[in-house]
A and B are shown apart, each in its own frame.
Chain A
Amino acid sequence: MNTSTTVLLAQGLTKSYGRVQALRGVDLEVKQGEIFGFLGPNGAGKTTTIRILLDLIRPDGGTVRVLGLDPQKDSLAVRARCGYLPGELHLEESERVETILRQFNAFRGGKADWGYVRSLAERLGLDLKMPARNLSKGNKQKVGVVQALMHRPELLLLDEPTSGLDPLMQQEVHRLIRGAKADGATVFFSSHVMAEVEQLAERVGIIRQGVVVEVAETQTLIKRALRRARVRFAGGFQAPALEGVRGVSLLSRDGDTLVLQVEGEMDALIKELAKYPVAEFETERPSLEEIFLAYYER
């Protein structure tokens, strides 16, 4: 698999709804075969970005390429090669699940293998005979997941893929997404659930008020971020001032105990602490959620 091929590219993407500027210049690049998490709170522009990728809405400015194609000029080719799960999934209430899935399959020229559709439904515990009107939100979401995956697309565009699912089903969907990646698909998914992105995504993009403020490997982002360190010195030793150490700032002091904030590598702090009698040393790695919130507090 060629991992350097760009599957999804957005440059300077802008979009307004009347006076509301939803996207203010989104830049994104997703490589072939990766799982990319698009993180942001409600209204940040995640759904708008995904819908532009499928030509459901047209941008005011900027360029987009999906699988090397322009979604406006080659809309059909793009949509034929993508699987899409909308953030707000609505189904034809009067139809049974199987009828709905067969209709979607007909739109794709009957490309899906029905045995695979059944196996997907089975893994998700979805009854194909059930009328859509009787489905819970979670079961509707399962229909959405099946229809997005059933034709084995090259690119999966999933807007909040586990919305409404119970934790067990969320894990099953994660397994399905990883399975699609293992089969060669690229996955671009949006979420405001940090734990999900941390668990699933290899790279993450954070969008804030219509601008992508950070794109990095998930683990790099976590490692690079601020850490908290708590140091207790031995034998009632009065804590020295460590604020001069590179990347270190003091959060609180309580007798022989310091709580510090460390930016970047811990090396300088550890070397400085080696000069003193240290009884306890604890560090906390921030969750993606804390990193995410830090971006939003800026």
Chain B
Amino acid sequence: MITVFSQSLRRWKWQIVGWGSVLLVITLYLMWLYKPMLEQQAQLKNLLDAYGKEMLAFFGGAVDLFSPAGYLNFGFFSYIPVVVGILALLLGAGLVAADEEKGTLDLILAHPIPRTALFWGRWLALAVALGAVLLLTWLGFALGLPLSGLDTTVGELLLPHISLFSVLILFAALALFLSLVLPSRTLAASVTAALLVASYVVTSLASVNDKLAPINNLSPLKYYQGGNAVDGLNWGYLLGTLAAALIFTLLAWLLFLRRDIRVSGEHGWTLSWRWAAKKG
């Protein structure tokens, strides 16, 4: 499992560095921007008031922009699950299916590696990769904090990242599960991306439309706290999201244990649930 874990991390090192460094620069810039924005508070308030509340809902709602939670939500945490979610779901959908589609998994699994070790080794590497990206993101906030004068601490800034991590892991797990059920990882990633965007839209609009409350209960992003987590984590939401991720991961693992390893051109590209039903 350690071999698989280290090889997977090595494979993703440039993605970690690329995503992490871009996000580090963005968060550093955001922190630097806080002071100038604070100086033009009045004009900005007028500008924001001109926008409809539906519009502001997509940026964390009509909250106090200059509070730590409001600013972090507006500038970063409200939309970032969709952005970094793309990385998470691509890694999840490709965790097993990428090698399967390339045809390299066949030879890997002809070696004495348990499927369980391969699966969990890669899953752990995925979690570490996402964690490393978020750590670099947090580093940007932490380095910029003294410049900003934002009324929060480095420790409190870590909390929204923990909430974000739980959501990213959930969408990665969903994509992984779908990649083992649907005929291709592209389809699995597309379906997961559609669900991610739908969740973002529903949860954002639910803050201004009460009729969306029932459907919002099913939206994963309802349980994402974003910048509000600087005031304290909702442990129920956090553990619930992680539990959902664990369920999808366990289902994916069980599917991976019992399924045939597909090789292109060998009649293996039917929906696996049909195959499973046939096997009964």
Chain A positions near chain B (C-beta within 8 angstroms): 17-18, 20, 22, 47-48, 51, 54, 56-58, 60, 75-77, 79-80, 82, 84, 86, 88-92, 94, 103-104, 106-109, 144, 147
Once bound together, how far apart are the Cα atoms of A90 and B108, in whole Å?
Answer: 10
Q: Tell me whether B155 is interfacial, beta carbon within 8 Å.
A: no
* Inter-subunit contact A107/B113 (CB<8 Å): yes
Query: B107 near A89 (CB under 8 angstroms)?
Result: yes
Contacting residue for A17 out of B110, B112, B266, CB 8 A: B266
- B-side interface mostly: loop
Q: Which residues of chain B are near A47, meaning CB under 8 Å?
A: 263, 266
- Neighbour of A90 across the interface among B103, B109, B261, CB < 8 A: B103
Chain A residues near B231 (CB-CB < 8 A)? none
- Chain B residues whose C-beta falls within 8 Å of the C-beta of A80 in the assembled complex: 112
Residues of B at the A interface (CB closer than 8 Å) are 3, 7, 11, 102-104, 106-114, 258, 260-261, 263-268, 270, 274-275, 278-279
Given A76-B114, A79-B112: A106 touches B103 (CB 8 Å cut-off): no
7 cross-chain pairs, A with B, having the tightest CB-CB distances, nearest first: A17-B267, A90-B103, A107-B111, A80-B112, A57-B260, A84-B110, A79-B112
Contact call A88/B263, Cβ cutoff below 8 A: yes
Q: B102, B104, B258, B261: which contacts A56 (Cβ < 8 A)? A: B261
Q: Which residue of A18, A22, A56 is within 8 Å of B270 (Cβ)?
A: A18
| In the complex, number of A-B residue pairs with CB atoms less than 8 Å apart | 78
Instruction: Determine the distance from Cα of A179 to Cα of B270 in the docked complex, in whole angstroms.
Output: 41
**Contact (Cβ within 8 A) A79 B106:** no
Report which of B111, B266, B270 forms a contact with A79, defined as CB distance below 8 A.
B111
B103/A88 in contact, CB under 8 A: yes
Q: Is the CB of B110 within 8 A of A79?
A: yes
Q: Is the CB of A107 within 8 A of B261?
A: no
Alpha-carbon distance between A92 and B11 when the two chains are bound, in angstroms: 10
B258 neighbours in A (Cβ, 8 Å):
58
- Shortest A52–chain B CB gap in Å is 10
Cβ contacts under 8 Å, B106 to chain A: 51, 56, 86, 88, 90
Residue with the greatest number of chain A CB neighbours at <10 A, chosen from B103, B111, B270: B111
Contact among B108, B260, B265 for A88, CB-based, below 8 A: B265
Contacts of A107 in B (CB 8 A): 3, 108, 111-113
User: A92 touching B104 by the CB < 8 A rule?
Assistant: yes
